[in-house]
Amino acid sequence: MPEVGPGGASRPESADARFWNGDYYNQGNGQEEIFDKLKEECGVFGVFGHPDAAHLSYYGLHALQHRGEESCGICTSDDGSFHYHRGMGLVKEVFDRDKLDALVGNRAIGHVRYSTSGSSQLGNAQPLVFKYRDGDLAVCTNGNLVNEPVIRRELEEQGSIFQTSSDTEVIAHLIARSPKDLVEAVKDAFARLIGGYAFLIMTKDRLIAACDPNGFRPLVMGRLGDAYIFASETCAFETIGAEYVRDVQPGEILILDENGLREERFAPMERRAVCAMEYIYFARPDSDINQINLHSARKRMGQQLALESFVDADIVTGVPDSSISAAIGYAEQTGISYELGLIKNKYTGRTFIQPSQELREKGVKMKLSAVRKVVEGKRVVMIDDSIVRGTTSLRIVNLLREAGATEVHVRISSPPFMNPCYYGIDTPNPGDLIASTKSVEEIRKAINADSLYFLSHSGLIDAVGGHDGEKNRGLCMSCFDRDYPTKVQFELAKATSCSCD
């Protein structure tokens, strides 16, 4: 259970000095990342029935860029002819006007992707496009299939040859091998899958959207004039001026063709389990999931955090960008003023040239700065959304101390993250999750905080405010409580489970 760290504790004892002095900026995971945040999954976007399908997809994917920065792609259909372009990098880097103009057609599916290390290659960029007996088939997905290795092995034993290491290719093979018509083949294929996924599939005459039976990953449908639009998040609708219609429901399959929209199921809804981390951290604050606005939900998390763990302080600040909403909520609830104590430099993104080793020691400051005039001499409550390995929190606490904060009280707007995710989030090995091996007090010392508190399990569920009468009010909380909503074949699951492919 979460516990309140001792407020006003002195700085760490000598046993913890390694967390405070020397190499702390690089200390931790041994990887090149300066920050150790969880990696988001992927984003999907689809258009059916609009002459500017490619351009709409470009803007839609740009709005979903936060869900994947490694690669992206768009595939269009023009009376049965497929045109596609995929590349490594951001949407704005991969596409230019000429490339978009070449993607003719009034239907499109698109994708932005993160990868696990080692699988960051163009071959795995999506949408994947295949030839099957009725023509072309384009597939993209957000999520992860728990039983992908089992199905892949089975298909290989039956003669299938795979081109990629991607989950998405498995579903394409299942569809292609089925003797049934496309929609029935897709339903049969989905019925075999275990995991968290939102799929978009395009053939010469159809666009199909589907969500797993637990609804782990968000997928929404909208309208733009007569056209239908699908997206991982509603923020993409705002960008292109589309109107939200509804969320795709767990176990549902939506089929668009020349006859319009068909709403069917490939499986009954099982226990609804929308990813809690979408609400806490992943999705954009201007998006809604199941009609719950993310900024508002995060504010309620901050308010609840304040109710559970008030500490006397001078200012509240949030770690940008995902924790600002919760920090505003904490400040509102306590009456302590919210201040911009931390500023993120938005221009040191993925492509920033790694500094020399000497400068890397200060690398964190290129991405995040403490505002000295704001925090100097102040007791600071620092709100963050999660602690993964602990290295990020340590760096940020130290930034605040170096800028003159007299006390740093860390409040986390989620329970301790202590279990791997099998549903499409790239999580470190369980042993690297600091909450899986350390008590709250040990974590407090490790991150050099004066006090530390994690939002309670029930506080998080109530703050999101999902579906009454359902377990966890319809949230997946497995990374906090290890209560996985599906069968999880631990022996088969990948150590880092997001393939999003």
Point out the annotated binding site: 275, 322, 384-385, 421, 476, 479
| Size, binding site for ligand SF4 by CB under 6 A | 12
| Residue from the set 34, 219, 221, 277 that interacts with ligand SF4 by CB under 6 A | 277
Specify the long-range contacts of residues 30-35, CB closer than 8 Å, at least 24 apart. Answer: 31/117, 32/354, 34/360, 34/363, 34/364, 34/366, 34/367, 34/395, 35/364, 35/367, 35/391, 35/392, 35/395
- List alpha helices for 223-339, DSSP H: 235-240, 276-277, 294-308, 324-334
Q: Is 472 exposed, middle or buried (0-12, 13-18, 19+ CB in 10 A)?
A: buried
| Residue from the set 19, 228, 423, 454 that interacts with ligand SF4 by CB under 6 A | 423
| Residues 6 or more apart whose Cβ sits within 8 Å of residue 211 | 197, 198, 199, 217, 219, 248, 249, 250, 251, 252
Block residue for tokens 């795995």: 124
Write out the binding residues for Mg(2+): 322, 384-385
| Residues 6 or more apart whose Cβ sits within 8 Å of residue 191 | 266, 267
Helix or strand holding residue 314 (H, E): none
Residues between 286 and 325 that touch ligand SF4 (CB under 6 A): none
Compute the distance between CA of residue 146 and CA of residue 422 in angstroms, rounded to an integer: 6
| Residue from the set 84, 130, 216, 281 that interacts with ligand SF4 by CB under 6 A | 216
Residues between 3 and 22 that touch ligand SF4 (CB under 6 A): none
Q: Does 25 bind ligand SF4 (CB under 6 A)?
A: no
Closest CB 68 distance from ligand SF4, rounded Å: 15
Residue 145 or 183 having the CB closest to ligand SF4: 145
Q: Does 275 bind ligand SF4 (CB under 6 A)?
A: yes
| Residue from the set 171, 172, 276, 405 that interacts with ligand SF4 by CB under 6 A | 276
Q: Does 425 bind ligand SF4 (CB under 6 A)?
A: yes
Q: Does 421 bind ligand SF4 (CB under 6 A)?
A: yes
Residue 38 or 175 having the CB closest to ligand SF4: 38
Helix or strand holding residue 70 (H, E): none
Write out the binding residues for [4Fe-4S] cluster: 275, 421, 476, 479
- List alpha helices for 121-253, DSSP H: 148-157, 167-177, 182-192, 235-240
Whose CB is nearest to ligand SF4? 421
Note if 42 is an active site residue.
yes
Part of the chain binding ligand SF4 (CB under 6 A), chosen from 13-21, 365-373, 418-426, 456-464: 418-426
Catalytic option among 42, 72, 140, 500: 42
| Residue from the set 342, 380, 476, 500 that interacts with ligand SF4 by CB under 6 A | 476
Block residue for tokens 């103009």: 101
Q: Does 196 bind ligand SF4 (CB under 6 A)?
A: yes
Q: Does 281 bind ligand SF4 (CB under 6 A)?
A: no
| Residue from the set 400, 479, 498, 500 that interacts with ligand SF4 by CB under 6 A | 479
Strands 252-257 and 220-224: unpaired
Q: Spell 158-191 as b/e; 16+ CB within 10 A means b.
A: eebeeebbbbbbbbbbbbbbbeeebbebbbebbe
Residue 254 or 476 having the CB closest to ligand SF4: 476
- 318: helix, coil or strand? strand
Part of the chain binding ligand SF4 (CB under 6 A), chosen from 72-80, 231-239, 269-277, 395-403: 269-277
Residue 245 · residue 296 · CB < 8 Å: no
> Could you list the active site residues?
42
- Site of interaction with ligand SF4 (CB under 6 A): 196, 216, 275-277, 421, 423, 425, 476-479
